[in-house]
Each structure stands twice: as structure tokens, then as C-alpha cells.
Amino acid sequence: MNILQILLLALFAAFAVLRLLGRGRTASRFARWTLLCLGAVVVLAPFTWLLAAVFKDRSVLNEYIFLPPVEQWSEKTLNLDNFRELFKGRPSLTGPVYFWEYVLNSTVYATCTTVLQIFFCSLGGYALAKYEFRGKNALTLFMLGSMMIPSVLLLAPLYKMVVDLGLVDSLAGLIIPGMVGTYGIFLFRQACLAVPNEMIDAARLDGCGEFGIYLRLVMPLVRPMAAAFCLICFLGNWNAFFAPNVFLHSQDKLTLPVVLNLYLGEFRHDQGVFLTGTALAMIPPAVLFFALQREFISGLTSGAVKG
């Protein structure tokens, strides 16, 4: 019997006791919060392990499940070696490439793609939502169909195109093909459908140009969706692996997921450094999520609730 099992048994016993004492409502509230906390513990366990592994020395990575007992804390067991190794430059033709450069690359890629997608997808979504025009149904059908094709399949011909355009091995080569996505168009279409037509008609009567209506009237009304999409798009591109892996060659152009994968190479298996990089790479998306939680939730679910 170890401490974990004792703890679990104690919780269960407390619940049973409450039940028996006739305090049904307290019992169920107790059970509810216990289950939620247990769930949270299970979900957070890998992160805790990650965080502990980041500070553990290579030689004791597997010695202790999380951190060594306090008596054993020393330079040998806990240190910042992983960070040092991570921030050391990686070899390249033009000199060592440092970690901040990879962060910068990822930032450029994720933010530029997101910003461009917000612009183009909102334009397209608004057009689909609020206009009737020839070919609208055909276009919608085409968009739906294109979402069903596994994107892995398109990688090779797309690579050829990017090479032919001279954009291979550059962030532009990743950003430009990724500037518009059908998922985004549909999300914005969903949001724009909720804008009352009367407002748009009134704006037209006032002499607002079409683009003006889009920009000054409709977009502010769909801000929650824009924020939600911001997060989704940023997250997807920040963590994207396959396209950057193939399209980027030079060491100084790589994005974070691609670089982190390099630490688990064929001969060397530097788990500590990889884990440190992963932990650091989580920070920007976490910050963004924290700031946008509410909008994200409302934007995401408005699409689903409408069905």
C-alpha cells in the first residue's frame, strides 16, 4: 500500500461516510469536486513531469518520477544544463543558430499566417454569408469537398510548386500557400450569418461602400469569432510540423517543432533538451489562450450550437 492508494481510499471512504450520514447533497458535491480534481491531476501529470524533467540532470532523468527528494537536491541532480544545451547554437553553414531564432521563425510563420487568414477568410466568409451570386452553391460544394481530402496527399505536388516559384526553404513559401483556409471561411460564414440583414441594408442606404460595410459594420460584430479563429489558427500553425519539415532546409529557417524533433536523432537521444524546448514552446500559445479564453469559447461554440 503506498501513499497514492491510501489517498484514493481515503477519498472514497469520505464519500461513503457522507452518503451514509444522509448528507446526500454534500456527498454528491464532494464527489463532483473530487472527480474533477482527480481529472485535473491526471491531465496535468504529464506537464508536471515535463516541468520536473526540464530541471533534472541527464543522469537522473529516470531516477525519480518527478523531483528528487529535497536531501538530494544538488548541482548534480538539478541544474539548468538542459537550458544551456538548448541555448547553445546548433551548427549551420553560416555559424551557430540560437534558440531565439527558431522562436522568431515560428512567430513569423504563425502570426503572419494567422493575420492573413483572418483577413482573407473573413472576406470570403462574409461574401458567402451575405451575398447571392452565380456559382455560390458550386463554390460552397467545392469548399466542402476540399476539406475531405487528406492534406498529406497534396504535399509532394505542392512542394514542387513552391520550388518552382523559388520559395522553397523560406518562410514565405510556407505562409503563402497557407494564406487561406476553407475552415476559416466556414467559421466566419457562420458568424456573419448572425448579423441582421437590416443593418447591412441600412448601411448601404447610408452610402457605405461594400468594403466599408464589411470592415466597419460586420467585422466589429463578429469579433468573438475573429478572436476564436485567431487562437485556433495560431495554435495550428505554431505546432505545425509536416509542411515545415519538408519545405524548410537551412538550419536557420527551421521552426520550433522541426528543431525540437532534431534532438531525438538517430544516434543521440537528448530527451532532456527536447522536453525543455517543448516546455518553452508551450508558453506563447498558453499566454494567448489565457488572454482569449472567453472569446475562444464563445466563438468556437457559436458555430456548433447553430449546427
Give the footprint of another protein on residues 247-276 (CB under 8 A).
Answer: 249-252, 257-258, 260-262, 264-271, 274-275
Interacting residue with another protein among 22, 70, 132, 196 (CB under 8 A): 132
Report how far residue 281's alpha carbon sits from residue 239's, in angstroms, rounded to the nearest whole number.
Answer: 9
Q: Pattern 104-123, binding to another protein, x per CB under 8 A?
A: xx-xx--xx-xx--x-xxxx
- Which of positions 277-296 make contact with another protein (CB under 8 A)? 278, 281-282, 285-286, 288-293, 295
For the CB of residue 117, give the shortest distance to another protein in the complex, in Å: 10
Closest among 135, 99, 152 to 263, alpha carbons compared? 99
Stretch that binds another protein, among 14-22, 67-75, 80-88, 149-157 (CB under 8 A): 149-157
Phi, psi of 56 (to 5 degrees): -80, 145
For the CB of residue 267, give the shortest distance to another protein in the complex, in Å: 6
Residue nearer to another protein on the CB measure, 20 or 148: 148
DSSP 131: -
75 part of the interface to another protein, by CB under 8 A: no
What is the number of alpha carbons within 13 Å of residue 38 lying toward its C-beta? 12
For the CB of residue 72, give the shortest distance to another protein in the complex, in Å: 16
Residue with cell 500553425: 237
For the CB of residue 71, give the shortest distance to another protein in the complex, in Å: 20
Residue nearer to another protein on the CB measure, 70 or 153: 153
- Which of positions 28-67 make contact with another protein (CB under 8 A)? 32, 35-36, 39-40, 42-47, 49-50, 58-59, 61-63, 65
93 part of the interface to another protein, by CB under 8 A: yes
Residue nearer to another protein on the CB measure, 17 or 216: 216
For the CB of residue 76, give the shortest distance to another protein in the complex, in Å: 11
Stretch that binds another protein, among 11-19, 67-75, 79-87, 212-220 (CB under 8 A): 212-220
Residue nearer to another protein on the CB measure, 83 or 270: 270
Three-class SS of residue 167? coil
Residue nearer to another protein on the CB measure, 16 or 35: 35
- The Cβ of residue 184 has, within 10 Å, a number of other Cβ atoms equal to 21
Task: With beta carbons less than 8 A apart as the criterion, state whether 214 and 227 touch.
Answer: no
Stretch that binds another protein, among 18-26, 67-75, 77-85, 239-247 (CB under 8 A): 239-247
Q: Is the dihedral of CA 62, 64, 65, 68 positive or negative?
A: negative
Phi, psi of 97 (to 5 degrees): -105, 130
* 3-state per-residue secondary structure call for 78-130: ECCHHHHHHHCCECCCCCCECHHHHHHHHHHHHHHHHHHHHHHHHHHHHHHHH
Stretch that binds another protein, among 14-22, 67-75, 81-89, 215-223 (CB under 8 A): 215-223
What is the residue type of 171? L
Residues 6+ apart with CB under 8 A from 200: 130, 213, 217, 218
Report how far residue 272's alpha carbon sits from residue 282's, in angstroms, rounded to the nearest whole number.
Answer: 16
CA 167-182-174 angle, 5° bins: 15
- Which of positions 9-28 make contact with another protein (CB under 8 A)? none
For the CB of residue 255, give the shortest distance to another protein in the complex, in Å: 11
